[in-house]
């Protein structure tokens, strides 16, 4: 959709240039049909060249690898298809329609003009009249007489704008990998101790739910902490206000929460054992962005504070990821052979990372395994009592899992009668040792007589990457205060001198790994885009100097990009801002191509450099401004967030999608605003400067040739005097 939004402003650029040129021909007195034909042919090559430069800028992004490439690929694909179609419409459909329906005032004797008169009329530059044209002409005449000052001022402005951005936002939060999007949901993950039973986990999860809803969650983990009545009352609906003043009922005293849902441990058949890595999490879904009265980040921080003091489990918080999965801001992989050593290293690193300011939810995936009690039966002793391992196992199963021995019926319902040890006894190891096992003779023998009771621990989950055991440490960052890349850089400095045993390695992966891949690709894409644009320009103008003049506007337009980032207090986004810069490179050259091409045509018709530059600037002023304005207006909704909700038929003042694309739209809008000034003033100044240098070079060459030609006819004495 953003590709369509960006294309919406750009696809009319070609049509504007052609229709404006047809209109100018008709204003000079040319008939509609001849005006459409000759005006279109006059700007055909620059229009094709400008479209090819735009396609050249976006085409490298089609080859973006990885998850980020899957996410961003539709942007260049949409633009390439749309702009190619718009070129066909602008050069074929629009002139045909203009020749049939276009009218203009002030045309005289249209049907009486000869072909030569039509050509002469259309090729004539626009007449300089009106306040705007006269003022622009004066500015342009001033600029081309002082080209060095104008060019130096432009480059100085670029440096100042970049420095201004650094002072405003760059020192505080210079870069971000991906836009900081307000999440639609969040998850509170509850990791109980190894071997915890279902009842314990149920109490933990209930305590977290109560804390989120607004109840008291502190204290121990006894069964009496949260009564059923309290649990029911705390989730009574509470009234809150939306941003528009309307009210809604929510499950928590925190206004942004729409609903709470829980995913806790469940087992089949009432078994008492469970997998220790079964997820236990409480999900929170927030109200829509345009209904929020306060930031979701503040609500997440409130929930974090509420669950921080709940004992008996490791509780971490994760915001729901919007867009491609990028991993945790800090993701560290420790690789080695010994799982116990990896666990110790992981603990040390977790403690170090937790000391970094604004780093939250430090955790790892190291698992020590579930503690267990192993009953090792002495077969010889058991045989002396006439017992087998199956008989002893059945007795243990009956005592701890229970045995249905009968049933009774009451009020048309059947109830099982189960023989089982009391729950309190099932938790005591001494009871296990003294558990009486029946023998065939009718006597009872304690289990400790028949078996050895051993305390063991099963191995935890083992993760392997490239055939090496790996433990991963993850941490979140409060990115409203400090950007993820900055916190990650602090972690890298902190762990740079961390002593690792021989054979063990430590790597930063996750978001950092994806960020480096994206940076490398975008740098290559930008270089390739510049090369392709330069190649198209050289092919079109058959010159090195003119493409250099046009490409200079790309570099200088970056000042506008940084101006926009500073005004909107936006960091430089590795993804969105970089894509915006690449897009800008393809857009800003379009008007410069048409302008320079027209200057060349006027010079071929006999005009001098300064006269041709002024006449071309005045003639192309209207289409240059129109094309810039249409592109800017097409992107304004992405910056402001204002849109129309067709579902409810109402204007929406907040847009969730604008959070994604705002920095990219800001770069294109402000870069294009500066590029428009560059096209109208700096590009003509550069053209004039290079022509002056070229003329100076030609005069110097002519003088040298004259001197050497004279030297060829002089004697030795005259040569020495020279």
Greatest mean pLDDT among 219-233, 283-297, 448-462, 700-714: 283-297
Instruction: Give the pairing type, strands 572-573 and 175-176.
Output: parallel
pTM of the predicted structure, to 2 decimals: 0.71
Tell whether the model's pLDDT for residue 653 goes beyond 80: no
- Lowest mean pLDDT of 310-324, 469-483, 607-621, 707-721, name the range: 707-721
What's the rounded Cα separation, in Å, for the pair 184 and 319?
8
Q: Given a cut of 50, is residue 626 above it in pLDDT? A: yes
Give the pLDDT band of residue 365 (cuts 50, 70, 90): confident
Give the pLDDT confidence of 676-690 residue by residue, as tens digits: 888 888 888 888 888
Residue 114 has pLDDT above 60, yes or no: no
Q: How far apart are CA 13 and CA 115, in angstroms?
A: 29
Q: Are strands 238-241 and 247-250 parallel, antiparallel or unpaired?
A: antiparallel
Q: State which of 253-267, 273-287, 325-339, 680-694 shows the largest mean pLDDT.
A: 680-694
pLDDT reported for residue 270: 32
Strand partners, 457: 371
> Residue 196 — φ and ψ, nearest 5°?
-65, 145
CB 49 within 8 A of CB 596: no
pLDDT for residue 363 is more than 50: yes
- Higher pLDDT: 333 or 242? It is 333
Nearest alpha carbon to residue 508 among 488, 484, 493, 487: 488
CB 68 within 8 Å of CB 575: yes
**Helix, coil or strand: residue 278:** coil
Determine the pLDDT at residue 706.
67
How far is Cα 37 from Cα 543, in angstroms, rounded to an integer? 28
C-beta separation of 616 from 123 below 8 A: no
Domain 185-368+463-514 fold is Alpha-Beta Plaits (3.30.70)
pLDDT category of residue 274 using cuts at 50, 70 and 90 = very low
Taking each helix axis as running N to C, give the angle between helix 74-88 and helix 32-58, from 0 to 180 degrees, rounded to the nearest 10.
160
In percent, how much of the chain has pLDDT > 70? 83
Our separate counts of H helices and E strands in the chain read 26, 21
Q: Considering only the top CATH level, what class is 2-178+515-709?
A: mainly alpha
Q: Write the CB contacts of 153 (distance below 8 Å, at least 6 apart in sequence).
A: none
d(CA 261, CA 187): 10
Could you tell me the CA-to-CA distances from 234 to 211, 215, 239, 240, 473 in Å, in that order?
9, 6, 13, 16, 35
Range of weakest confidence among 111-115, 197-201, 204-208, 650-654: 111-115
Q: Where are the domains of the chain?
A: 2-178+515-709, 185-368+463-514, 371-457
Per-residue pLDDT tens for 308-328? Answer: 888 877 888 877 766 666 667
Backbone angles phi, psi at 297, to 5 degrees: -60, -40
> What pLDDT band is residue 126 in, cutting at 50, 70 and 90?
low
Rounded Cα–Cα distance for residues 24 and 22 (Å): 5
Which residues, 6 or more positions from 106, have their beta carbon under 8 angstroms from its beta carbon? 27
245 has a pLDDT exceeding 60: yes
Residue 613 in contact with residue 697, Cβ under 8 Å?
no
The string of pLDDT tens digits covering residues 559-572 is 888 898 888 888 88
Buried residues in 381-415 as b, exposed as e (16+ CB within 10 A): ebeebebeeeebeebeeebebbeeeeeeeeeeeee
- 430: tokens are 């001494």
Whole-number Å distance between alpha carbons of 354 and 477: 11
Instruction: Convert the pLDDT of each residue in 39-93 to its tens digit.
Output: 888 888 888 888 888 888 888 888 888 777 787 788 888 888 888 888 899 888 8
Query: Two tokens at 179?
Result: 């836009």
Residue 267: which pLDDT band, with cuts at 50, 70 and 90? very low
Confidence at residue 221, expressed as pLDDT on a 0 to 100 scale:
44
Burial of residue 37 (CB within 10 Å: 0-12, 13-18, 19+) is middle
Strand-pairing partners, residue 360, are 476
What's the chain's average pLDDT? 79
Give me the residue label for tokens 């396609």.
55
Residue, of 302 and 720, whose pLDDT is higher: 302
Contact 361, 300 (CB under 8 A): no
Question: In this structure, are residues 87 and 47 in contact, taking their beta carbons and an 8 Å threshold?
Answer: yes
Instruction: Please report the pLDDT score of residue 36 as a whole number.
Output: 86
Contacts made by residues 339-345, CB under 8 angstroms, sequence distance 24+: 339/366, 339/459, 339/460, 339/462, 339/469, 339/471, 341/501, 341/504, 342/366, 342/469, 342/470, 342/471, 342/504, 343/368, 343/471, 345/471, 345/500, 345/501, 345/504
Span 375-432, pLDDT tens digits: 888 888 888 888 888 898 888 888 888 888 888 888 888 888 888 888 888 878 888 8
The pLDDT value recorded for residue 215 is 66
Chain centroid to CA 28: 51
First to last CA, the chain: 73
Label residue 219 by pLDDT band (50, 70, 90). very low
Nearest residue to 560 (alpha-carbon basis) of 441, 426, 671: 671
The rounded distance, in Å, linking the Cα atoms of 654 and 640 is: 8
What is the per-residue pLDDT for 323?
Answer: 61
The neighbour count for residue 46, using CB atoms within 10 Å, is 24
Query: Domain 371-457 carries which CATH code?
Result: 3.30.2090.10
Q: Are 261 and 285 in contact (CB under 8 A)?
A: yes
Closest Cα to residue 483, out of 566, 565, 561, 570?
Answer: 570
Which DSSP letter does residue 236 get? S
Average pLDDT over residues 634-639: 82
């Amino acid at each position: 959709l953003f590709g369509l939004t960006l294309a919406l402003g750009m696809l009319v650029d070609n049509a504007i240039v052609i229709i404006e040129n047809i209109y100018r021909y008709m204003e000079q007195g040319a008939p509609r049909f001849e005006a459409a034909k000759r005006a279109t042919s006059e700007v055909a090559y620059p229009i094709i060249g400008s479209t090819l430069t735009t396609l050249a800028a976006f085409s490298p992004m089609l080859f973006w690898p990885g998850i980020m490439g899957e996410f961003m690929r539709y942007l260049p694909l949409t633009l390439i298809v749309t702009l190619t179609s718009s070129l066909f419409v602008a050069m074929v459909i629009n002139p045909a329609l203009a020749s049939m329906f276009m009218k203009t005032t002030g045309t005289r004797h249209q049907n009486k003009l000869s072909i030569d008169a039509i050509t002469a009329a259309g090729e004539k530059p626009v007449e300089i009249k009106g306040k705007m044209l006269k003022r622009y002409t004066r500015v342009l005449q001033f600029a081309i007489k002082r080209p060095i000052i104008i060019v130096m001022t432009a480059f100085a402005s670029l440096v100042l704008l970049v420095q201004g951005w650094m002072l405003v936002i760059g020192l505080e939060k210079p870069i971000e990998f991906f836009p900081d999007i307000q999440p639609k949901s969040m998850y509170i993950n509850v990791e109980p101790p190894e071997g915890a039973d279902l009842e314990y986990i149920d109490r933990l999860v209930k305590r977290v739910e109560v804390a989120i809803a607004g109840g008291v969650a502190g204290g121990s983990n006894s069964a009496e902490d949260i009564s059923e009545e309290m649990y029911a009352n705390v989730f009574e609906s509470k009234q809150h206000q939306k941003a528009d003043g309307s009210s809604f009922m929510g499950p928590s005293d925190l206004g942004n929460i729409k609903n709470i849902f829980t995913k806790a441990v469940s087992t089949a058949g009432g078994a008492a054992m469970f997998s220790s890595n079964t997820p236990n999490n409480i999900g929170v879904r927030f109200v829509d962005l345009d209904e929020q009265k306060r930031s979701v980040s503040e609500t997440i921080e409130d929930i974090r504070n509420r669950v921080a003091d709940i004992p008996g489990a490791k509780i971490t918080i994760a915001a729901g990821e919007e867009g491609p999965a990028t991993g945790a801001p800090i993701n560290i992989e420790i690789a080695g052979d010994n799982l116990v050593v990896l666990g110790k290293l992981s603990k040390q690193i977790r403690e170090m990372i937790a000391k970094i300011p604004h780093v939250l939810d430090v955790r790892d995936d190291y698992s020590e395994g579930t503690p267990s009690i192993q009953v090792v039966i002495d077969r010889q002793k058991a045989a002396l009592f006439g017992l087998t391992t199956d008989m002893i196992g059945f007795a243990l199963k009956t005592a701890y899992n229970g045995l249905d021995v009968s049933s009774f019926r009451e009020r048309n319902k059947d109830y099982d009668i189960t023989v089982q040890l009391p729950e309190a006894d099932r938790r005591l190891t001494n009871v296990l040792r003294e558990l009486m096992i029946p023998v065939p003779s009718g006597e009872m023998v304690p289990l400790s007589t028949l078996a050895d009771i051993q305390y063991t621990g099963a191995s935890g989950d083992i993760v392997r990457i490239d055939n090496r055991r790996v433990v991963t440490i993850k941490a979140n960052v409060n990115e409203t205060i400090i950007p993820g890349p900055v916190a990650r850089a602090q972690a890298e400095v902190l762990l740079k001198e961390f002593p690792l045993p021989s054979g063990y390695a430590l790597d930063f992966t996750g978001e950092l790994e994806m960020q480096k891949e994206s940076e490398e690709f975008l740098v290559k894409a930008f270089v390739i885009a510049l090369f392709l644009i330069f190649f198209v320009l050289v092919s079109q103008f058959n010159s090195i100097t003119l493409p250099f003049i046009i490409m200079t506007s790309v570099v200088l337009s970056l000042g506008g990009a940084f101006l926009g980032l500073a005004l909107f207090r936006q960091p430089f986004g590795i993804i969105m801002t970089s894509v915006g810069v690449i897009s800008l490179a393809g857009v800003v050259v379009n008007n410069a191509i048409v302008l320079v091409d027209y200057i060349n045509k006027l010079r071929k018709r006999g005009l001098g450099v300064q006269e041709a530059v002024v006449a071309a600037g005045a003639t192309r002023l209207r289409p240059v401004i129109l094309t810039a304005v249409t592109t800017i207006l097409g992107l304004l909704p992405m910056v402001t967030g204002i849109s129309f909700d067709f579902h409810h038929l109402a204007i929406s003042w907040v847009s969730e999608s604008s959070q994604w694309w705002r920095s990219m739209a800001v770069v294109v809008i402000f870069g294009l605003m500066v590029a428009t000034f560059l096209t109208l003033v700096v590009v003509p100044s550069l053209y004039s400067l290079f022509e002056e240098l070229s003329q100076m070079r030609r005069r110097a060459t002519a003088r040298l040739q004259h001197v050497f030609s004279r030297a060829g006819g002089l004697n030795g004495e005259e040569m020495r005097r020279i």
